[in-house]
Structure 1
Amino acid sequence: MSPPPHFARPPLDFIPPAYSAWVLRLVHGILPLLLRVRVRRWLPSGIAKIEATGAEILARLYHQFQEGQIRLVLAFRHVEVDDPLVGLYVLSRLVPEAARRQGIRLREPLHAHFLYDRGMPLWGGEWLGWLLSRLGGIPIRRGRRVDRVALKAARQLLLDGQFPFAIAPEGATNGHSERINPLEPGMAQLCFWCAEDLAKAGRSETVILLPIGIRYYYTDPSWTKLERLLARLEHLSGLTPPKPEPRSSRSPNLRYTQRICRLAQHLLGQLEAFYDLPPFISGRDEEEPRIEQRLAPGHFNARLERLLHRALETAETYFGLSPQGDWNSRCRRIEEVAWIQIYREELRHPGSLSPLQRGLLDWKAHQAMLYLQHMRLVESCVAVEEEYLLSKPSFERLAETALILFDVLARLRGESYPARPRLGWRGVHVTVGDPISVSERLERYCRGRQEAKQAVTELTQDVFSFQFLFPISRDPLQEERV
Structure 2
Amino acid sequence: MPSAKVQAAQPALGFIQPAYTPWLHRLCRLALPAVLGSRRIGIGAVSGVVELAELCAAAQNGEVRLLIAFRHPSTTDPLVMAQLLWKEVPRAARRHGIRLAHPVHSQFLYDRGIPLWAGAAAGWMLARLGGVPIQRGRLDRRALKTARHLLCSGPFPLAIAPEGATNNHDELLGPLEPGLAQMAFWCCEDLVAEGREERVVIVPVVLRYSLLHRDWAPIDRLLTALEGVLGITLPPAGAPALPTEEADHRYGRLLLISGRLLTQLEHFYRLGSGEEPGLTPGDPALSARLSRLQATALAAAESHFDLQPRGTILERCRRIEQAGWQAIYRDDLAACAPLERSLADWCAVEAARHLDHMRLVEYFASMGDAYVAEKPSVDRYLEVLLILWDAIAWIRGRRGERPPAPAARQVRIIVGEPIEAGPRLADYRRDRRLAVDQLTDVLRASLEAAMLD
Normalising by the smaller structure, the TM-score range is: over 0.9
The alpha-carbon distance between structure 1 residues 382 and 421, as it changes in their structure 2 partners (threshold 3 A), is: farther
Asked if structure 1 preserves the Cα contact closer than 8 Å seen for 2:219 and 2:378, the reply is no
Equivalent residues in 2 for 1:48-447, closer than 5 Å: 48-144=42-138, 146-221=139-214, 223-251=216-244, 252-278=246-272, 295-347=281-333, 349=334, 353-447=336-430
Local SS of the residue matching 2:224: helix
* 1:408 Cα deviation after fit: 1.8
* 1:56 Cα deviation after fit: 0.8
The alpha-carbon distance between structure 1 residues 104 and 195, as it changes in their structure 2 partners (threshold 3 A), is: same
Local SS of the residue matching 2:10: coil
* 1:305 Cα deviation after fit: 1.2
Aligned residues: 446
Asked if structure 2 preserves the Cα contact closer than 8 Å seen for 1:254 and 1:393, the reply is no
Q: How much is the aligned-residue C-alpha RMSD, in angstroms?
A: 2.2
Partners in 2 of 1:14 and 1:191 — Cα distance? Answer: 23
Counterpart of 2:9 in structure 1 is 8
Equivalent residues in 2 for 1:11-26, closer than 5 Å: 11-26=12-27
The alpha-carbon distance between structure 1 residues 253 and 202, as it changes in their structure 2 partners (threshold 3 A), is: farther
Partners in 1 of 2:235 and 2:140 — Cα distance? Answer: 50
* 1:236 Cα deviation after fit: 1.3
CA displacement, residues 423-451 of structure 1 (integer Å, 9 cap, x when unaligned): 3211000111101100010011011xxx2
Letter in 2 for 1:360: L
Partners in 2 of 1:162 and 1:125 — Cα distance? Answer: 28
Asked if structure 2 preserves the Cα contact closer than 8 Å seen for 1:221 and 1:425, the reply is no
Task: Determine what percentage of the aligned residue pairs are the same residue.
Answer: 44
* 1:250 Cα deviation after fit: 3.0
Letter in 1 for 2:367: V
The alpha-carbon distance between structure 1 residues 403 and 244, as it changes in their structure 2 partners (threshold 3 A), is: same
* 1:226 Cα deviation after fit: 2.6
* 1:470 Cα deviation after fit: 5.0
Partners in 2 of 1:405 and 1:247 — Cα distance? Answer: 28
Local SS of the residue matching 2:308: coil
Counterpart of 1:479 in structure 2 is none
Asked if structure 2 preserves the Cα contact closer than 8 Å seen for 1:115 and 1:139, the reply is yes
Partners in 1 of 2:24 and 2:239 — Cα distance? Answer: 54
Letter in 1 for 2:198: E
Partners in 1 of 2:30 and 2:444 — Cα distance? Answer: 34
* 1:291 Cα deviation after fit: 5.9
Local SS of the residue matching 1:49: strand
* 1:322 Cα deviation after fit: 0.1
* 1:385 Cα deviation after fit: 1.9
The alpha-carbon distance between structure 1 residues 442 and 242, as it changes in their structure 2 partners (threshold 3 A), is: farther
Partners in 1 of 2:217 and 2:71 — Cα distance? Answer: 30
Runs of 4+ in 1 over 6 A off after TM superposition: none
Partners in 2 of 1:224 and 1:11 — Cα distance? Answer: 48
User: Does 2:447 correspond to 1:454?
Assistant: no
Local SS of the residue matching 1:446: helix
Letter in 1 for 2:349: H
* 1:406 Cα deviation after fit: 0.7
Counterpart of 2:3 in structure 1 is none
Partners in 2 of 1:99 and 1:297 — Cα distance? Answer: 52
The alpha-carbon distance between structure 1 residues 297 and 110, as it changes in their structure 2 partners (threshold 3 A), is: farther
The alpha-carbon distance between structure 1 residues 131 and 19, as it changes in their structure 2 partners (threshold 3 A), is: same
Asked if structure 2 preserves the Cα contact closer than 8 Å seen for 1:210 and 1:433, the reply is yes
Counterpart of 1:40 in structure 2 is none
Local SS of the residue matching 2:88: helix
Asked if structure 1 preserves the Cα contact closer than 8 Å seen for 2:45 and 2:413, the reply is yes
CA displacement, residues 121-172 of structure 1 (integer Å, 9 cap, x when unaligned): 011110000000000000000121x100000000000110100110000001
Partners in 2 of 1:296 and 1:278 — Cα distance? Answer: 21
Local SS of the residue matching 1:30: helix
Partners in 2 of 1:52 and 1:470 — Cα distance? Answer: 14
Asked if structure 1 preserves the Cα contact closer than 8 Å seen for 2:222 and 2:403, the reply is no
TM-score, normalised with respect to structure 1: 0.88
